[in-house]
Amino acid sequence: MRIDDLTTLLTVARTRNFSQAAKELKTSQGTVSNHISALEEQFETKLFERTANGAEVTEAGLILIETAKQILQDAQNAKVKINNIKNSPSGIIKIAASNIPGEHILPKIIDQFQKIQPNIKLKIESQDSLTGLNSLLKKAVDFAAVGTTQGFEQEIDFTQIGEDRLVLITPNDHKIGNRKAVNLKEIAQYPLIHRQETSGTRREIEKLFENNKIQLDKHGIAFELGSTEAVITAVSEGRGLGIISSLAAAKAEAAHLLKCVNIIEAKNKRKIYLARPKRMLLKAQEEFWEFCRNQKF
């Protein structure tokens, strides 16, 4: 069946007149007759009876008309969807994200982005900052959302998508937990629970101690864990103190899992970045990059 034949069928059925149908379709009466004949030949039955009152639809014609209406509607829907794809970008964007941006920053950005670009789907892969940036260089992902840029500035472009501060977290019953602020020298006296060395938070902690000329004793590390949530759990169970993002710490404190204490030397907010390779990207990826560049945080 051809779309033109079905359109002619519906027009003849509505006007009940081959000549009138030809005028509406801006074609000849002969063409209208050919379209109907083609359908009648295909289904081996009469679709119209010519009477003194015009073209009367047969029972077989009524059945085909209902099918034709559905086919033409489906074709129109497909045309709209195809036009949308042609006029707006689509596809899947893969983002390697470390804990903080992946859980506290990207969800809101993605929700806002997909309201204006519903044809673009985003997939977040949980990776620490260093692993994510290396995945980006290997073209395994389109972007990386990370908490550090150290060592990658020459190969990768960064744009800020959020910010937080480093804070100390303690068990609820720890004596430091009731203080408003504490300095790094005092913190260094306690065993600390850290993220692994490839974590962006870990790199920022080491940089904070280094900038303030305070030795972070490797023997003072209680143990290393693979996620911020694991650090929160260990601290809440009284296994040591930790330094984590204020975004994650605030939620844990609100749930009465631990106490947050400001670090005197960590007054400056830490930047959270979206990273991309220094090359042209597909349209969908470029749209997401520009959207993130214009975010207010």
Give the distance, in angstroms, between the CA of residue 143 and the centroid of all CA atoms in the same chain.
11
Q: Write down the mean pLDDT value for the chain.
A: 90
Structural tokens at position 222: 């209680």
What is the rounded distance in angstroms from the CA atom of residue 192 to the CA atom of residue 155? Answer: 33
CA 286 vs CA 82, 94, 109, 289: distances in Å: 21, 13, 15, 5
Closest CA to 12 of 63, 60, 50: 50
pLDDT digits (tens, 9 = 90+) for 251-274: 999 999 999 999 999 988 888 999
Percentage above 70 pLDDT, the chain: 96
Per the rule left: phi > 0, alpha: psi between -120 and 50, beta: everything else, 11 is alpha
Please answer whether residues 145 and 101 qualify as being in contact, where contact means their C-beta atoms are separated by less than 8 angstroms.
yes
Q: Which residue would you say has higher pLDDT here, 42 or 85?
A: 42
Q: What is the pLDDT of residue 147?
A: 85
pLDDT digits (tens, 9 = 90+) for 202-239: 888 988 999 999 887 665 677 889 889 999 999 999 99
Please answer whether residues 252 and 232 qualify as being in contact, where contact means their C-beta atoms are separated by less than 8 angstroms.
yes
pLDDT higher than threshold 80 for residue 150: no
Which residues are within 8 A (CB) of 280 and not within 5 positions of it... i.e. 6 or more apart? 286
Q: What is the pLDDT of residue 220?
A: 63
Percentage above 90 pLDDT, the chain: 68
DSSP strand pairing (192-195 vs 221-225): parallel
Angle at 117 between CA 112 and CA 119, to 5 degrees: 130
As a whole number, mean pLDDT of residues 97-101 equals 90
CA 193 vs CA 58, 98, 229: distances in Å: 82, 18, 12
pLDDT higher than threshold 80 for residue 182: yes
Q: Which residue would you say has higher pLDDT here, 189 or 144?
A: 144
CA 255 vs CA 52, 83, 101, 236: distances in Å: 83, 48, 20, 11
Angle in degrees, 0-180, between the axes of helices 59-87 and 3-15, rounded to the nearest 10? 130
Q: pTM, whole model, 2 decimals?
A: 0.61
Write down the residue that tokens 């209208």 correspond to: 32
All domains of the chain, ordered by start, with CATH?
3-87 (1.10.10.10), 91-163+271-293 (3.40.190.10), 166-268 (3.40.190.10)
